[in-house]
Amino acid sequence: MKKTSYPKGDIRVLLLEGISQNAVDTFRAAGYSRIELLPQALPEDALKRAIADAHILGIRSRSQLTAEVLAQGKRLLAVGCFCIGTNQVDLDAAELQGVPVFNAPYSNTRSVAELVLAEAVMLLRGIPHKSAECHRGGWSKSAAGSHEARGKTIGIVGYGHIGTQVGLLAEALGMQVLYHDIETKLALGNARPAADLGDLLARSDVVTLHVPETPATQWMVGARELARMKPGAHLINASRGTVVDIEALAATLREGRLGGAAVDVFPTEPKGNSEAFESALRGLDNVILTPHVGGSTLEAQDNIGIEVAAKLVRYSDNGSTLSAVNFPEVSLPEHDGSHRLLHIHRNVPGMLSQVNAVFSSRGINIDGQFLRTDANVGYVVIDVSGAGDEQARELRDALDSIEGTLRTRVLY
């Protein structure tokens, strides 16, 4: 294990929102010891205080890392979202602060897909309503409104990692699979693209949403879209709460136009398990309500813990930003020389020549240099041999004084 310039024992890792113990174990195995694991998200003020002391911050979907919150993270090196979605982080603000953000793009995909398929079957059979009646002492043994999934059409909006898995599972049950995506997607199995969203809504018995939260997906299913769905069809949303207009959905369900719905995500979600859940959908028997647990299986959380912690360790130890969601991606080899320096800067012309001048003007030969840029930021990693620790610190200070520098580190 290469010794880092900043001792690992001093690097503070703060993990919020009940992240898996596997993450802690991964950090410990890599030599990190100052790890704090909290079961809940923090309110804004507490989050601002906590981020001020953290070098590495791990969150899930509840912690809102706005530009204002991030600005308190003066020591912050990296953020890990121990989930798929990264909409809770102001990614541009993080990047311009020199902070890469990592996530787990696949580890809970299967968990979401399994839940969605199970909900599709339950809704097609009218089980939520029947179950609620039984709980009240009722007994409506009847086949009316109960359907097999076989032969029915499932319409998948957002045919990405989760959407394609849902499609494959649904096809195994004998369902017809239609999908709509803004990108051209390879159809798996016998799935077929719909002409557009309206076409998908009009032809599906079950519509399931698997898009990310973006300006284009905000309220993408409202009264107009619900009106285009087949009478008696079902809607499933396990994507993000801002994708569906919940009031419009509740009104449509009350009118009896749709058969039912399963909703896992909401425009406003409780910050923790002790906060009350409010929604216009509460009390509707034909709606399955779940507390944002689509990806919450032990299998998924354990895998996510390892995956994201490993990415954070790799960045902290080695400088690699491979698979960061907001940052130029650099995959770095191990380096046997004396020092590795990181320079993160605004992507403006002339930066690299100024960086190189810092080394050439001191007669220091560069062993290896790795540069990647995106529209906002450039990330350059410089490996050198033969420089002493004192000289490495002096090089860092010289790099720091280049105008447009966002962050500089001597990694080792």
Q: Are strands 339-346 and 405-410 parallel, antiparallel or unpaired?
A: antiparallel
Q: Is 292 a catalytic residue?
A: yes
Q: Is 299 a catalytic residue?
A: no
Please select the residue that binds ligand NAD; options are 22, 26, 88, 108, rule is CB under 6 A: 108
Residue 384 in contact with ligand 2HG, rule: CB under 6 A:
no
74/46 Cα distance (integer angstroms): 15
Could you give the CA distance from residue 315 to residue 327 in angstroms, rounded to a whole number? Answer: 12
Strand segments, DSSP code E, in 65-113 are 78-81, 101-102
Q: Does 110 bind ligand NAD (CB under 6 A)?
A: no
Among 83, 194, 248, 355, binds ligand 2HG (CB under 6 A): 83
- Residue 264 as a binder of ligand NAD (CB under 6 A): the answer is yes
The residue (of 1 and 186) whose beta carbon lies closer to ligand NAD is 186
The minimum distance between CB 243 and ligand 2HG, in angstroms, equals 12
Q: Tell the residue number behind the tokens 């309206």, with chain if given.
A: 198
| Choice among 60, 210, 292, 396 that is catalytic | 292
DSSP 411: -
Q: Which of 174, 298, 161 is nearest to 239 (CA)?
A: 161
Return the one option of ligand 2HG, ligand NAD, none that residue 60 interacts with (CB less than 5 to 8 A, by type).
ligand 2HG
Judge whether 403 and 343 are in contact, CB under 8 Å. no
By beta-carbon proximity to ligand 2HG, the closer residue of 85 and 272 is: 85
Nearer to ligand 2HG by Cβ, of 84 and 220: the residue is 84
Beta bridge partners of 226: none
Q: Which is nearer to ligand 2HG, 39 or 151 (CB)?
A: 39
Out of 60, 240, 314, 339, pick the active-site residue: 240
C-alpha 177/C-alpha 305 separation (Å) is 33
Rounded to the nearest 10 degrees, what angle do helices 21-29 and 298-318 cross at?
30
Q: Is position 269 annotated as part of the catalytic site?
A: yes
Take residue 214 and report the two structure tokens written for it: 């973006």
**Stretch binding ligand 2HG (CB under 6 A), from 78-86, 147-155, 226-234, 355-363:** 78-86
> Strand 377-384 and strand 339-346: pairing?
antiparallel
Among 161, 257, 346, 393, binds ligand NAD (CB under 6 A): 161
Does 108 participate in binding ligand 2HG (rule CB under 6 A)?
A: yes
- Output the CA–CA distances (angstroms, integers) from residue 155 to 26, 148, 220, 305, in the order listed: 39, 16, 15, 32
Q: Looking at the annotation, which residues are catalytic? A: 240, 269, 292
Residues that bind ligand 2HG (CB under 6 A): 60-61, 83-85, 108, 295
Residues that bind ligand NAD (CB under 6 A): 84-85, 108-109, 112, 157-163, 180-183, 210-214, 216-217, 238-240, 264-265, 292, 294-295
